Amino acid sequence: MSKLYEKILNKSAIIGVMGMGYVGLPLAVEKARAGYNVIGFDIQQKRVDMINEGKNYIGDVNNEELKQLVNEKRLRATTNFEELENCDVISICVPTPLDKFKQPDLSYIIQTAEDISKRLHREQLIILESTTYPGTTEEVVLPILLKSGLEVGKDFYLAFSPERVDPGNIRYKTRNTPKVVGGVTSECTKYAKALYENVLDAPVFPVSSPKTAEMSKILENTFRLVNIALVQEMTKVAEKMNVNIWEVIDAASTKPFGYMPFYPGPGIGGHCIPIDPFYLSYKAREYDLHLMLVEQAGQVADEMPYYVVQRLGDILNEFKKPFNGSKILVLGVAYKGNIDDMRESPALKVIEILERKKAEVYYFDPFIPEFSLNGKSYKSIDLDKEVLKKFDGAIITTAHTIGIDYEYIIENLPFVFDTKNVLKNFKNRENIYVL
């Protein structure tokens, strides 16, 4: 038994987590909770300071648990990457965005791998967790680490284990979500599997390679993109046929096999679904393949905010109001309900389109007090009666169920356009319009 493997099993290994965001901080907390000493690395001093003060900034992390782990010196954070040399295990949880041409931006992964490579030593396990295209671990990260002169599978160990974070999910958190691991060699897989079996209250599934693990993550989110795009297209047809798409979905959901519900809305948000499938589409072109279904699903999703604004225009027309000069209240700018995450939120695109049409746009979101878009600053307004009566209407773009008194809003506005079906149980629907 190697020293590293023994350290992993007896929890004496020091674990570094690079990137203290929506993936990294919950993961660091779980590893510390399991009994390991954990160092969180981040380039943002504010995040580092908050962690070291026991202050939480991620909704899925328990405030008291974080404070306790910091007080017990199980978890701390730093901006000093020299401390990577002290780590036995390093998890990479850095962002993997798309550029404006929807091509992968691996600059964060590359820079992180370079930082590790400079300090890589024998008996270290490196696990890439950032979602990326199949082949990244072996084609991008591994060559950088090999600059150290060390041999993978013998001197150090490298694996990929995709993050599965669903912000705001009440049932499934990092702790109880099954984990997939795929190592460059069988020994790499063995070490990564042993680590997560010691950390999680969920099964760990080893696969034959990092590429398989990378592909599994892409498949999960491509499945969701394609099915959401399907229901978005059906929404447009249903509206033309004067059929309530939400009732259709509820009816189809009564089938106990061969179907699962997906729901429409103003678009698709979050880090995963609008981004991950295009990593695969990008990689497929290397093999002279074009993933037409993926690309068309992405196009459908991209068009949805425009369709929603067009529907809003039709509603305004009923009230003899043009876009130009109308005061519109946007309810929710987070990408999903009851969280403070704005990444790729379709509400932002809706706001952008409305402002191009010369509407006066304001917003309310109990989870996001302020934000910036295209150089302009926005602040969540106070929803008192006098303020509401100045608006021509509102559009619900986020399914918040906490912190919004919808009944009060409906009573004081000419209409509310509900794109998320959060008002489905309201009996008085005279001024409620549904997507």
Amino acid (one-letter) located at 261 = P
Give the whole-angstrom CA distance, residue 31 versus residue 47. Answer: 18
Give the whole-angstrom CA distance, residue 263 versus residue 395. Answer: 17
Nearest in space to 55 (alpha carbons), one of 42, 41, 65 = 65
DSSP string, 205-233: EE-S-HHHHHHHHHHHHHHHHHHHHHHHH
Which string of b and e fits 192-226 if b means at least 16 CB within 10 Å? bbbbbebbbebebebbebbbebbbbbbebbbebbb
Amino acid (one-letter) located at 150 = L
For residue 287, the 8-state DSSP code is G
User: Which residue in 87, 93, 188, 272 is the catalytic one?
Assistant: 272
**Residues with Cβ < 8 Å from 408, sequence gap 6 or more?**
383
272 is catalytic: yes
Give the whole-angstrom CA distance, residue 155 versus residue 3. Answer: 11
C-alpha neighbours within 13 Å on the C-beta side of residue 366: 12
Rg, Å, the chain Cα set: 24
Matching residue, tokens 């099964």: 203
Q: Would you state the structure tokens that stand for residue 216, as one six-digit string?
A: 């599994």
Q: Going by DSSP bridges, is the β-strand pair 370-373/376-379 parallel, antiparallel, or unpaired?
A: antiparallel
Q: Going by DSSP bridges, is the β-strand pair 370-373/360-364 parallel, antiparallel, or unpaired?
A: unpaired
Show which residues are catalytic.
272
